[in-house]
Every structure is written in structure tokens, then in C-alpha cells.
A and B are shown apart, each in its own frame.
Chain A
Amino acid sequence: MSKKQLPKIDSKSKQLEEQLKRALADYQNLERRVEEERKLLGQLSSAILIERFLPVLDNLENAQKHLKDEGLEMVIKQFRDVLSSEGVEEIEAQGSKFDPNLHEATSVVEGQNDGMIAKVIRKGYKINSKVLRPAQVAVERQQIDQKTEEKAEEGKNTQMYTNENNTNESEYTKLEH
């Protein structure tokens, strides 16, 4: 082997070493992530399923508002018991201060208690302390600039469309009703 070839081989071996390091790093990252994801998966899969059942509970409760039926009340309680045994709890909303980490404002109403929740439009739930579905609420504001608010509503709807392809979310709701 000539001496001329040596630097070439040297750089080639450096390049290969670099490649090997990258591959190893990627692999280690993958292993770590697989482990994490495996832990999460168990919780997540039940969360996704429960989330799909929440609209059914919403509607049972809606029905009860009209029917005020004793039997239906028992069914609703049964439903809630199953949820709570799975670590699901309702997010406090009525009368509390609006917190975007837990609540999603769908509208504002004029009122004295600025920033407080005036009405719960759709109940929110947490599972094992993580938000499963934020509560949809109407929030009180002392002064409402009608025009600004409409614009914001418009803007929010612009933002709405993409909820579609988030298959692995647990934080935000995508399919309801």
C-alpha cells in the first residue's frame, strides 16, 4: 500500500466511525423510546377508548335534563362509577376561574366576574391527572367588544380544522358526537 493512499483510508475510516456512532445513537434513542411508549400505550389505549364513550355520557345527561327519570339516573351513575374506577375524574369548571390548561372557551358572556366560568357547555374530564378532554365553557367578561369577539371566533374556527389527523393525542379531543 502506498503512502498516498493512507490519508484516504484514514478519512474513510473516520467517516465510517461517524456513521457507526450515528447508527448506534439512533438505535439507543429508539430503544429508550420504545420502552417509554410501551409504558404509555397501556394507559393511552384505554384513554382513547374512554374518550370515545364520553359523548354518550354527555347525551345521557342531556336526556336526563329533559326526562328526569329515576332509572336513567341509575344508569348515569353506573357509567360514572366505571369511569372513576378507571381513574377518570370530572374537571371542575362551573364557578371556577378559566384556565386554558383545563378549559376550552367556546364563547364569552357579559358579567361582573371577569375571567370566571359562567356556564359549562360540555363537561371536561381528566384521566390519571392528565386532561382527557378539556371542558368547553362560556367565560364571563366585564366588557365585550362584539366585533373583536366575532373575529376571534372566526379565527378559532380557522384553527379548528386540523384536529383530524392526530391519532395519538390524549390531551385534546377530536371526535365528538
Chain B
Amino acid sequence: MSKIIGIDLGTTNSVVAVVEAGKPKVIHSAEGRNIIPSVVDPVKHIVGDVAKRQMVVNPKTTIFSIKRLMGRKFKDAEVQRDMKWLPYDIKEGRDGMAVVSVEGKDYTPQEISAMVLGKMKADAESYLGGKVEQAVITVPAYFDDSQRQATKQAGEIAGFKVERIINEPTAAALAYGLDKAHAHTIAVYDLGGGTFDISTLELGEGVFEVKATNGDTHLGGDDFDAKIIEFLSEEFKKESGIDISKDRQALQRLRDAAEKAKIELSTTAETEISIPYLTADQTGPKHLQLKLSRAKLESIIGELVDKTFGPVRDCLKDAKLDAKKIDEVILVGGMTRMPLVISKVKDFFGKEPHKGLNPDEVVAVGAAIQGAVLGGEMKEMVLLDVTPLTLGIETLGAVSTPLITRNTTIPTSKTEVFSTASDNQTSVEINVLQGERPMASDNKSLGRFILDGIPPAPRGIPQVEVTFDLDANGILNVKAKDKATNKEQSIKITGSTGLTQDEIERMTKEAEEHAKEDETKKEETETRNRADALVYQAEKALKDAGDKVPADVKTEVEEKIKALKEIESSAPIDEVKTKSEELSSVLSKIGESMYQKQEPEGTKGPEEPKEPDGQTEEAKAKADSDTGEVQEGEVVKE
């Protein structure tokens, strides 16, 4: 049952991903990198970072940007143009195709790409711990048949069965799950290391159709870096009077600093660039130190970003689409991390672009998803859902106590033990709640039922086991069981996740908005609950101790109990707190005055709110009056 992996075979870099347990994951290389440079020395069989390191030493044998030659004739205008700047030898091969000549041997672009693919295959195999023989490979939307064919051959040379060749923008759309959305037109803005591509897609019947594509094959991150380096070297010249534009070693350090500054300014508004001992003259060593703000960086590279919108306009024109009519915009490529790029794209299309996924990996991720779909894995895969809202029950003081919290992967089940709120309470009402708010009344009641026949006992003694079981279809089974009698009662709620997206959003938003006041309300209730419990404990302690308590202590405790009881449910919360503390402190006198141990329940301090929370009398009373009212789902009496 081998996996079909997804490969983004890029001009500058390549990425490989796979779907595992229904989730796409980028596979790291043997060197621990998620991205490998598409650079190959075909003679020494070196691929990736290592090949890149020897590029200047062996310019004739280190092949990069091979994708530019893929499936192209030697006489093609593009090949003729690229030959001028590519350092290795390109010549005419069989059928007039462009091939590279390395140390007297000819290699087709397919063979060179196959070495990159071969490395990805090996990395995937070591990651997955087994053979990998099938792949989905992506190509630019503008690739013609011959280029696609060549890409497929490259895969075959590397030992893959190429299950499908898909377009890069389509892969990006798949990665964002737009095949399932109701989007009709999608724009994919891809600004990478050396190339810029813009594509518009149309989705119909689950199939993406590329409507138009445009771009600039020589505009990308390297141009941005060059601008920043130029700026830094000019600043340095202004400061020190030294021109370092010919000093290789200094330029290398500038390049590294520019790179770092660019990355930092994507998240911060200002960064400090400091390169000590950049160079030296007769007067001594010279350092470069300057602060670079995001605004300054944007003024340096703004022109380059603007340059991308020419092709964008042309692309829309070809597709006969208006920018504002585009339903979804996706950002691809490392350069789209720049806030300026994001904001300009947003302004142009008038909507927030998708950017949640790593823009360097999104194409490979989409390819992996396509692979999983082809392998039947995605379709058959039980797509595990999560519960969008918290599920719980109402407890003492109308507090909502969660059992299954939101975003829990389903199916899931959870059991907790609750108890009664008053002495000799023989029934409890289970009110099943959904929502994020701490108070029961603010959440949605999904249904309620009563478990009766609980043997009379002091509050807190009976153990009622409540089980929530949420199955894969979102059907919630709630069961309450009295552990003493094994008597149980249950309810089945079918609509627990059947909320519309709007409802979920509204409820989640409300919870956020009310978070603070809710918290106060909950605290208040808890304080009052504690006061109530304290009064109960105190009364019980007095009763249990009987005449072993000195009369003065007894009177004092009784007074405090009375004082607290009177105000417990009505007075301002601070007063309840003060009176509770007073009672609590005199209560300990009972213990002090007696040298005998109290019963376990009696020792339970009032500071144990979590211990058996139960149903209040209020809740119980309510239960008596509106048992017939079930809001959602049906009560199943067993």
C-alpha cells in the first residue's frame, strides 16, 4: 500500500510532501531541510545544497534552473535568451531539443531533473520507511504539452510512475481546499525566487480550469535582495567613503545581512543591521551599522512589487475578468511573506488573500493531496471532524460545566462523576448544553432529562456518572447513571453539530465578546455556591459535634451561619465573600475545641468547589416544571 507523493519541481527549489492520516506533511531531506535547491552536478552525482556550494568552483558542471530548458527546442527564443546568462553549456540535441553538455557528455533536462527527483524519492522513502514509486508532479500553468511530457519523463527516469502532472496554481488551490468551497474564480499570485506567475482558475464540477496565465520569468526574490544590497552598500559608502561593490567578501556579508533584514522586517517594524569589521582602510576597521525600518525597505523594493501588477492586469484581461469579481486569491512563493506584497495584493483584488499555509510548501502540499485522492486514500479516508462548540451540562448555580471542549476530534467520549446539591435529593436533571459561555443560560440547551430514583442521602454523597459520547456523525449520546443503584437514563441528540457555519461563528464571537463579564458572573456564582456549601458544612459540623462544642463557640458559629444565609443569594459579592471568610474562621474553632476527628464529609473545606458539583434546587425545580420541553433531539428512555 505505497503512498503517492506530491512533488513541486521548482526552477530554484523543490519540495516533496505526502498525506498521512488524512493530513498533508512536507518531507524533510536527509539534511533536515524542507526545501532542496534544484541544483545538480551530473558528473559527480551531487544534488541540492552540496551541489549549490560548489557552483562558483565548477560553473560548467553545476546545473541549475534546468526547468527553464525543460521540453524546449534549442532554437526557442527563451532558450536563446537564457543561454546568455546560464554559465553551463547548452546545445542542440536530438530532434532539435535543448540539452546541456557537461565534460563532453550530453544530458537532457529530463535526466538532470530526474536527479533532483531521485533525491526526493530517497528522502521520501527514508521518511516513510518503505518504497515509494508513485508521484504527482506539478508544472507551471503555462507549460505546453512538450514541457509536460518532459517533466513526466523526468519522473519516470527517477523511477516513479507519474500518476499525474498538475498545474502549480491548481495544486495551491487544492492545498487550501478550494475544490470543496463554493468559489468559482480563483487567482493565484506566485512570487518565487526567480520567477513571477499569476494565474486565474475557474472551478466547475470539481475540476479546475486555467483561464489565463501571465508572469515575468525573470522577477523574483533575488531582484529584491539585489536592491537591498545596493542600498546597504550605498549607505556604507556615504558613511565611510569606501566602495565595497567590488569586494566579494564584503558583498557576501552584505547579502547575508540583507537576507536576514528582509525576513525580520516581515514581522517587525524595524531591524538593526550590524556588520562589524566589514572592511578596513588606512584609518582602521570599518563597521556597518544602521537601522532599517519596514517603511524604508518598502520604499526600496516597492517598485519591484508594483512591477508584478502589469502581468496581473494582462492575465485578468485575457481571462475577461474584473479584479473585484475574483472569489478567492491565493499567495504562493517565499516573497509573498512580505507585508507589502500582501497589502498590495489585497488592495488590488479588494479581498484578503489566503496565506495560512507556508507559501514555499503550498504547491507540494496540493500535489500530495492530489496524490492521496488518486490513491483513493483521501476519498475513503474517514475525514475526521472536530466538534465546533463545547458540550457540557448545567451544574450548581446554572454554571455550564464542559465535558467535551470545542475543537476536539470526533468520535470521542468523556465521563465525569457528579453529585447532588441538596440533602435527600432523589433526582437530578441533566441539561445538555452547547456553547462557549460559562453560564448555562447563555448557551444553547440541546436537551434535558431526569434521572430519578436516587436513594436519599446527604448532598455530595450520591455519585452520578455522566457520559458524553459523540460519534463520527456528530450524534451525541448522553447517559447518566447512579452508581449506587445502576439506574440509568439517556438521551440521543442528533443535532449537536448540525449548526450552520454562521451559527457557529456567531456563538464563538459572542463568547469572545462576553468573556469578561461571563467570567465575573461565573466567579460570583462560584462564590455564592461556596457560601452555600459552607453554610451546609457548618450546620452539619454543629449537628455532628452536638454538645461537644462549647456553648460560646456554638453561638458564634450559629450567628455567622445566620448572617451568611441571609445574604448568600442576594447581597453584593464582596459581602458574601467577607461573611464566608468570617464563618470559615469561626468554623475552625469547632475543630479546635474538639479533640476528636470529624467525619470525612465534615472535614471537606468549603474551598472544594470542583468536588461533586450537583444540581441546584433551582435546577431541580425547573426540571419539575418543564420536563416536557426538549429543545433538540429526543429523549430516549431506556
Chain A residue numbers with a CB within 8 Å of B335 are: 161
Chain A residues with CB under 8 A of B226: 157
- The verdict on A27 contacting B21 (CB below 8 Å), with A19-B381, A155-B86 known, is yes
In the assembled complex, the Cα of A26 lies from the Cα of B128 at a distance in Å of 9
Within 8 A of A (CB), among B493-511: none
- The answer, yes or no, to whether A5 is at the interface (CB within 8 Å) is no
**Is A21 an interface position by the 8 A CB rule?**
yes
Instruction: Identify which of B12, B248, B252, B255 contacts A158 (C-beta below 8 A).
Output: B12
A101-B50 contact given A59-B276, A107-B248, A171-B32, CB 8 Å threshold:
yes
Residue A105 at the B interface, CB < 8 A?
yes
A-B residue pair count with CB separations less than 8 angstroms: 184
- Given contacts A21-B1, A172-B31, are A158 and B65 in contact (CB under 8 A)? yes
Residues of B within 8 A of A26 (CB): 20-21
Pick the contact of A151: B31, B59, B129 (CB < 8 A): B59
B interface footprint on A147-177 (CB within 8 Å = 1, 0 otherwise): 0110111111111111111101111101111
* Residue on B nearest A153 in the bound complex, by CB: B56
Judged by a CB distance under 8 angstroms, whether B408 is at the interface is: no
- The answer to whether residues A100 and B360 also contact, given A30-B20, A155-B87, A158-B12 and a CB cut-off of 8 A, is no
Interface size grouping (class) on chain B: 35 or more
Closest to B255 in A: A160
Contacting chain A: which of B257-265, B577-585, B609-617?
A: B257-265
Chain A contributes a number of interface residues (CB within 8 A of B) equal to: 63
List the B side residues contacting A108 at CB < 8 Å. Answer: 56-57
Contact A165 B55 (CB under 8 A): no
Q: Decide: A106 near B277, CB < 8 A? Known: A162-B221, A164-B334, A177-B257.
A: no
Taking a contact as CB atoms under 8 Å apart, the answer to whether A59 and B277 are in contact is yes
* B56 pairs with A105, CB closer than 8 A: yes
Q: State the Cβ distance, A108 to closest chain B Cβ, in Å.
A: 6
Contact (Cβ within 8 A) B222 A152 = no
Whether the Cβ atoms of B276 and A62 lie closer than 8 Å is yes
- Tell me which of A139, A161, A175 contacts B225 (CB under 8 A): A161
A149 x B276 contact (CB < 8 A)? no
Q: Which residues of B contact A63 (CB under 8 A)?
A: 276-277, 285
Tell me if B459 counts as interface (CB < 8 A to partner A): no
Complexed CA–CA distance, A33 and B46 (Å): 27
Query: Does A77 sit within 8 A of B, measured CB to CB?
Result: no
- Enumerate chain A residues within 8 angstroms of B481, measured Cβ to Cβ: none
Please measure, in the bound complex, the distance between the C-alpha atom of A122 and the C-alpha atom of B13, giving whole angstroms: 25
Q: Point out the residue from A152, A169, A177 that lies within 8 Å of B59, measured CB to CB.
A: A152
Given contact pairs A156-B52, A177-B253, A177-B275, A161 touches B259 in the complex (Cβ within 8 A): yes
Determine if A177 and B256 form an interchain contact, defined as CB atoms under 8 angstroms apart.
Answer: yes
Complex Cα–Cα for A115 and B44 (A): 15
Closest CB-CB distance, B398 to chain A, in whole Å?
42
Knowing A25-B1, A165-B360, the reply to whether A171 touches B33 (Cβ < 8 A) is yes
Residue in A155, A160, A170 whose CB lies within 8 Å of B65: A155
Provide the bound-state CA to CA distance between A164 and B262, in Å.
10
Contact B277 A165 (CB under 8 A): no
In the bound complex, CA of A163 to CA of B256 (Å) = 10
CA distance A30 to B65 in the complex (A): 35
Residues 44 to 100 of chain A near chain B (Cβ within 8 Å)? 44, 59, 62-63, 65-66, 98, 100
- Report A22 CB to chain B, min CB distance, Å: 6
The one of A18, A19, A65, A106 that contacts B248, using a Cβ cutoff of 8 Å: A106
| A176 vs B54: C-alpha distance when bound (angstroms) | 20
User: CA of A121 to CA of B276 in the docked complex: distance in angstroms?
Assistant: 15
With A62-B276, A100-B46, A100-B51 as contacts: A155 and B31 at CB distance below 8 Å: no
Question: Taking the complex as formed, is B406 at the interface, i.e. its CB lies under 8 A from any CB of chain A?
Answer: no
The answer to whether A160 touches B33 (Cβ under 8 A) is: no
Beyond the given pairs A152-B55, A161-B225, 10 more chain A to chain B contacts, judged by CB atoms under 8 angstroms and listed by A's residue number, are: A29-B128, A32-B129, A98-B54, A100-B50, A100-B57, A104-B52, A108-B56, A121-B249, A159-B39, A159-B52
By a beta-carbon cutoff of 8 Å, the part of chain B in contact with chain A is 1, 12-13, 20-21, 28, 31-35, 37, 39, 46, 49-57, 59-60, 62, 64-65, 85-87, 127-129, 193-194, 220-222, 224-226, 248-249, 252-253, 255-257, 259-260, 263, 274-277, 280, 284-285, 334-335, 337, 358, 360, 377, 380-382
**Could you write out 5 A-B pairs with CB less than 8 Å apart?**
A62-B285, A155-B55, A160-B259, A164-B337, A165-B334
6 smallest beta-carbon distances between A and B, as pairs: A152-B59, A161-B221, A151-B87, A62-B277, A171-B31, A100-B54
